[in-house]
Chain A
């Protein structure tokens, strides 16, 4: 299994698309930084109307949790790029036909799929850590309004958002493996990452609330909505719920990906 993991890491390191996506990610970070600068370094700050009733975070002050929220969830670019990467990563060895070189040599495909997922998670984890800390460091260095506070909230948020991200990536991994071409996985993945499904889920939640006269918000249990709406200041209940939702979706998607792999013929 480790050999397959190494193989995927090798191919990712040689893939042009990896460097193209990293370039776009860098450009996106730079644009986000300019936007933050514009928002917090001039009188417009006073006009900031970012507020969330469910959070204790103070958005008028540029603290680490706010930076994290802004760069990861606030800007969909990171999520969309991660989704595109995940789809390309998952589908590439099938679209190029390379899969037959590896799948033919192993009796059980489950370890192969698991190793591939592990390689994907490793890449996304690396990008998440580098992107998060680099954006935080650059913000701290470039914007004088940055305040070193709320570190506990920052690390809790960092961890929960990471779980959601890996869960999202695992969902994309599974969905992509269901389609012959990468287009299917790409469209669904981007719809999730861009928050378009979240709008539908919110409407559904409103419908449920109105129909059954309840405060229960069903949208909280959809991964993408939970992911988009979560932030570090939401409190313990919301944090635990988001962690549970992320883990449940991740377990489901990984189990489906791994178990379905043995049933399918490898496309040549």
Chain B
């Protein structure tokens, strides 16, 4: 696997409290990695450590697989937008971008204008950042994070507080950055449904610990609609399902999950009966991402 970011037991401890507890994540190059967790789960702490804003108590991380690089070398290819975008309210979008560009030694107005065009802020002219809507501020924050031409973009709750249109615009920008520019994105959000529309890899974090890390396919296979089948003989059942042409099948404990042709439960029951296999249970089950998350973290408060 080609990982752009790997963390090794990254831990941040404040007194006796571990805000991040031995978290090891693996972000594939070109992925949109969604970090899911409730308030105080440790998402921001993790992102701050990766973004170089907070020193880990223990553990380490590698960007582009180069563990021995200095933070400065690693961070030259990382763009961050953690919580609110850090903007000077009395400056225009271009002036805010220029301020960061000067710090990086970039003196190319065309390039900066290109960034503003990319996030849809090219026509803001002399309008000051304090007059921007929340969505515009977030988009400018992303443009700021892009100034150093990052390979990895770290976005902490970028859609928090946005209206539906703002969320859709943000989704468009994220897809553009990932698919057209090949930027890997590590994003956290409370809005699981929205995150599920863009993320291709997921890490579920709870009370500072990483509970699960899986691909979109793996996660959706656990969350989407399926036929859950329990019979007297699993092996014979699999043979019958094979004969019937089912291929998206998963055996989990004593159940068989079927992810296609969900309306054929009757035909399956009849076919099994012909082979003297007793059907104990057959039902369509649905588990939303949110339900799955609650099941993992053991509650639905404050997500």
Contacts and interface: CB of A to CB of B under 8 A. Distances in A.
B103 A3 contact: yes
A107 B55 contact: no
A16 B90 contact: yes
A94 to B, nearest CB: 9
A134 to B, nearest CB: 27
A100 B51 contact: yes
Interface string B88-107: 11110001001110111100
Contacts of A6: 102-103
A103 B44 CA distance: 16
Contacts of A30: none
A7 B88 contact: no
B75 interface: yes
B37 to A, nearest CB: 17
A6 B103 CA distance: 7
Interface string A63-92: 000000000000000000000000000001
B86 interface: yes
A133 interface: no
A82 to B, nearest CB: 21
A253 B213 CA distance: 47
Interface centre among A15, A99, A106 (most CB of B within 10 A): A106
Interface string A222-249: 0000000000000000000000000000
A265 B48 contact: yes
Contacts of A53: none
Interface of B: 44, 48, 51-55, 70-72, 75-76, 78, 80, 82-91, 95, 98-100, 102-105, 144, 148
22 contacts: A4-B103, A6-B103, A7-B100, A11-B91, A92-B88, A96-B89, A97-B84, A97-B85, A98-B88, A100-B80, A100-B86, A101-B144, A104-B52, A104-B80, A105-B52, A105-B148, A106-B72, A106-B75, A107-B70, A107-B71, A265-B48, A265-B54
3 closest Cβ pairs, A-B complex? A97-B86, A107-B72, A98-B86
